[in-house]
Chains A and B, each alone.
Chain A
Amino acid sequence: MTTLLEVDGVSVSFDGFRAINNLSIQIGEPELRAVIGPNGAGKTTFMDIITGKTKPDEGRITWGDRNISLLGMSESEIAMEGIGRKFQKPTVFEDQTVRENLAMALRNPRGPFAVLFYKKTREGAARIEEIADEIGLSDSLTRKSGELSHGQKQWLEIGMLLAQDPRLLLVDEPAAGMTTAERELTTDLLKRAAETRAVVVVEHDMEFVRRLDCKVTVLHEGSVLAEGSLDHVTADQTVIDVYLGRS
């Protein structure tokens, strides 16, 4: 397992409030990692920083085999580097069909003219079928994604991530609002994805994290409080005090 992403000493503050405070995390490839922490621990901001939505005040973020810096790159450039992100609230394009949603995410040239003159290919169609199968939406390809159930939208979004073929998947609370059966499917989906790439899951739900069965990083007040297996971190007294003790 090689290091794919290294976040080193990153801090960011909003109007004097330190959302992220000297945070350092390393993610390997392939790896499945869960990030947990109480509200306001900086989980979402952590993702914002990696994906380029928020610029950190200090610190370094290096990526990939060539150790390039992600700072100063735009969101789309970072996405093209191979970092995919799934939002907390499912954000699929509800006005468009499942196929169109997936087609947009497929790993193809992203320039306007390349897209304008884009022609559908057999390989592309096959890949869409494959992903749809993976996320259990094979029968819904022609449906408007707005008509899907909440869980299906979550899967479609994960499917779009897979279609991007990223090396690192950032997944924000994938299990929120899902039924137990749906959760199991989601867990399997993420675990399968993590076999070939890095997957970082931000999650509230301890049961879900336990089922993922992976290394866990606990965030608190913008920095890492503890890291290790779930059993290890839940035994940590400081973690119990700040997080588990409260919930």
Chain B
Amino acid sequence: MTNSFLMRNPSTLWFLLGLSLFTIVVTALSDAGVGVMSTSFVKTLGKTLCLCLIAVAMDVVWGYCGILSLGHFAFFGIGGYAVGMWLMYARTEGIVLDSFASQTIPPTPQEVTDAIGNQIFGVVGSSEFPAIWAFSDSLILQLLLVVLVPGLLALLFGWLAFRSRVTGVYLSILTQAMTLALALYLFQNDSGLRGNNGLSGLQNIPGFEDTPQSTISLAFFYASALAVALGYVLFAWITSGKMGSVIKAIRDNESRVRFLGYHVESYKLFVFTITAVVAAIAGALYYPQAGIINPAEIAPIASIYLAVWVAIGGRGRLYGAVIGAAFVSLLSSWFTGGGAPAIPLGFYTVQWTDWWLVLLGLSFVAVTLYAPKGIGGLFDYLVRKPS
């Protein structure tokens, strides 16, 4: 089935081809190949792929279904936290067991748990394991939580919101409120997730202490690329065919779709939830590469940036979201990382670390005003011109 689906959607094939080429090029340039690409840059590219994945999800929920969710970065963060809990627990357990090994008397299980608790929660003045860490010793259960927690949260929130016909800007504000509530909750020290310290040391993968970061970074890069490929195909499949027809119709005229006999709320809920789950998976891959997650990552502004990427890349076309996320996030790290040369004007020197956000904000206004189809629209225009 998928085979014939790919045949009918050549743009998806082209995308997969491009992604494979990109993966090969990065491998060749990295330490595994000629070694001109630094490990940290491989990580940056891997992270960028994760951002591309959540951008694709955002594009489906906003560009195709018309729900401007300002909450998808919250799901991304939850995914990161869920996997981060296992990473942190397992790594701390290793350290604690090592330190006990040097003592004459072997530790009791309680002593081990207490010591791990002390290590992890000492920064927030606690040593007790909160209830939400109940499964943190099991990778499989935590991976299940990566999918389940955001999925159920999206299902509950979406059910409440769509059921009472909250739409348009109201829904955007409501999702933003949800994100803010989650971020504020996580900022508390007694949230059980280390307050504003967040989870750290996530780049150290338990069981692979001896593997060099260059290898780990490449492995995560491949995993991210695979996730993007699978996510892209999944969403391309969902948005093509009759499902795509219906959700685009919902975007364009919700009540008309209702009178055709479709239960609009179920469709929105389906799209909202599945994109939330994909966003969480993207987050679960992102944060081990970033090494640290804290509540500031989830702040409402992050979700708005996500919308910005998708808008600049071009809504309603999946590759547009990928282009937008990759382009803007890489450009952003180039400008803010001091990569861009300062411009001396004689009386004033433009430092890009100071002026990048001004530029981004204004160019965003310009894109909204003059190029509502974004960079992807430009792409369309170039491709179609010959015919």
Contact = CB atoms under 8 A, between A and B. Distances in A.
A75 B258 contact: yes
Contacts, number: 70
B245 A79 contact: no
Interface stretch (B22-30, B192-200, B263-271, B325-333): B263-271
A100 B249 CA distance: 10
Given A75-B258, A93-B253, A103 B266 contact: no
Given A112-B243, A118-B241, A104 B259 contact: no
Main SS class of interface, B: helix
A51 B266 contact: no
B253 A91 contact: yes
Contact of A91 (B241, B256, B270): B256
A145 B241 CA distance: 17
Interface residues of B, number: 23
A13 interface: no
B283 to A, nearest CB: 25
Interface stretch (A35-43, A62-70, A80-88, A202-210): A80-88
A51 B259 contact: yes
B261 interface: yes
A93 to B, nearest CB: 5
Given A74-B263, A93-B249, A79 B241 contact: no
A75 B248 CA distance: 19
Contacts of A111: 263, 266
A104 B246 contact: yes
B229 interface: no
Contacts of B243: 112, 115-116, 118
Given A75-B255, A96-B248, A103 B242 contact: yes
Given A76-B258, A110-B262, A115 B248 contact: no
B111 interface: no
Interface string A98-109: 001001110000
A76 B262 contact: yes
Contacts of B257: 104
Interface of B: 238, 241-243, 245-246, 248-249, 252-253, 255-264, 266-267, 270
9 A-B pairs with least C-beta separation = A79-B261, A75-B258, A112-B270, A76-B263, A80-B261, A118-B242, A93-B249, A91-B256, A85-B259
Interface of A: 51, 53, 74-77, 79-80, 84-85, 87, 91, 93-96, 100, 103-105, 110-113, 115-116, 118, 160, 164
